[in-house]
Structure 1
Amino acid sequence: MDLLTLEHFAGCLNETFMADIQGLEAPFVLVEAAPVQATLPGAQRTPFSLLFHNGSPLLFPQQTFRMRHPRLGDVGIFLVPIAQNREGFVYQAVFN
């Protein structure tokens, strides 16, 4: 796949990405895809941020997850847990 951009993910809002976590699959729902207000001279893409929600009561550590989506295929996404709510945890990925 070419360099991932915001446009790749914008059409996937509220869709599930399945993450491979030690041989088990965990669903992460993409709840936000937004540009990041930053200017990086010579950048190959406009920076953007993704927020995913996972309903597991377990907190997964920050790491690169191999995630599968029907249209995007398999992609490695570095997720960082940033919040907890009643339904689980919110994770963020930032692409520079």
Structure 2
Amino acid sequence: MAARLEHEEFAKYLHEKFRIRLNEQTIEAELTEISEHLVSPRQERFSIVFRTSNEMLLEQGQRPFEHDQMGNFELFIVPIGRDEDGTYYEAVFNRLVKKK
């Protein structure tokens, strides 16, 4: 089953652990933030932020994610900051709304 990459779906798993696959390595990432879900007649927008440890800095790019309930999916993430708690990565969703 394909993962539902929707605002409501991510909101269910706020503060849960996800895994980012890097070749033979797996990096743990906590979903720390979900922005407001903005919807207009033509598009929807939201963003999510993950935090990893500071052990490895990932460059921006398409990354394979895993989650026990959501399954496997890919996100384009961008590093947006770093502090003593970890490194933060953002994924932005900006897509057209399907006409019914």
Gapped runs of 5+ residues in structure 1?
none
Shift of 1:39: 4.1
**Deviation larger for 31-40 or 7-16:** 31-40
Quickly say closer, same or farther: Cα 1:2–1:18, change in 2 above 3 A: closer
Q: Residues 84 and 13 of structure 1: is their aligned pair in 2 closer, same or farther, counting only changes over 3 Å? A: same
TM-score, normalising length from structure 2? 0.83
Shift of 1:31: 0.3
CA RMSD of aligned residues (A): 1.8
The amino acid that maps onto 2:57 is: L
Segments of 5+ residues of structure 2 without an aligned counterpart are 95-100
Q: Does 1:91 align with 2:92?
A: no
Measured after TM superposition, the shift of residue 64 of structure 1 is 1.0
Match of residue 60 from structure 1: 58
| Alpha-carbon distance between aligned partners in 1 of 2:4 and 2:79, rounded to the nearest angstrom | 24
- Looking at structure 1, the residues matched to 88 and 48 of structure 2 have their Cα atoms a distance apart, in angstroms, of 10
Deviations 1:16-37 (A, max 9, x none): 1101012200001000112354
- Aligned-pair identity in percent equals 28
Cα offset, 1:58, TM superposition: 2.0
SS for the counterpart of 2:73 is: strand
**How many Å separate the matches in 1 of 2:41 and 2:23?**
35
Residues 17-64 of structure 1: CA deviation (Å, up to 9, x unaligned)? 1010122000010001123547472x3xx2110000001332110011
